[in-house]
Amino acid sequence: MKINEIFFSIQGESSWVGQPTVFVRTSGCHLRCRYCDTTYAFYEGRSMSVDEVVENVQIHPTRYVCLTGGEPMLQSDTPLLLQRLCDLNLNVSLETSGGLDCTGVDPRVKLILDVKTPDSGAGHSFDEKNLSLADVNRKNRTEFKFVICSESDFDWAVDFAQRHQLFERAEVLMSPAFRRVDARWLAEKILSTGCFARLQTQLHKSIWSPHVRGV
């Protein structure tokens, strides 16, 4: 696998926000979102075996592991790594654009599928096979995230979630695009429209500088 970095920090997003977490960031991404804050992961990284990654994860005193990127699903060994981590009885999450088929991912993994909005610059990249993962039987294991860049993005995200019954079948997260949309504005939109989304901000950017890597 090509790994950009492995680090121990506080989970800043998802329903596991606040948990001490080991992050495994893979290298490479097929998308170029306008708000991307990890462009250094497009190319930087080094080759590591699944065994080496697992050993590095186990060094840290936590039960939470997050595989992120880049785009982890571009790595052929990602499903095996996720399975290995789950077999260690760790709480494992996968952050992915949802632009590649995730239906074969170990069902024990919490999936955070980042549905790209039109103003992200990567709209229409979502693989609709992943909608099958919005299942009441794994509601606590599948989260659909929308990074909101504008009012039109908000409307688009609500429409997408309603058309695919995501509010009923999964956790729906909405996050303000950093320095593009104000968190208060998004909170008020959620409240005023009666939207069932869960507001999330990037907690780690509030704790540390937004420009610091490895947090």
The pLDDT, as a whole number, for residue 180 is: 86
**How many structural domains is the chain composed of?**
1
- Distance from C-alpha of 76 to C-alpha of 81, rounded to nearest angstrom: 10
- Distance from C-alpha of 99 to C-alpha of 125, rounded to nearest angstrom: 5
Give the mean model confidence (pLDDT) for residues 81-96: 98
Query: 129 in a domain, yes or no?
Result: yes
Query: 21 in a domain, yes or no?
Result: yes
Query: 182 in a domain, yes or no?
Result: yes
Query: 157 in a domain, yes or no?
Result: yes
Query: 22 in a domain, yes or no?
Result: yes
Domain that holds residue 163: 2-207
Concatenating the DSSP letter of every residue in 92-126 gives: EEEEE-S-S--TTS-TTSEEEEEPPPGGGT-TT--
Query: 214 in a domain, yes or no?
Result: no
**pTM (2 d.p.):** 0.92
Q: What would the pLDDT profile of 24-50 be if each residue is shown by its tens digit?
A: 999 999 999 999 989 999 999 999 999
CATH number at residue 92: 3.20.20.70
The pLDDT, as a whole number, for residue 210 is: 67
Query: 215 in a domain, yes or no?
Result: no
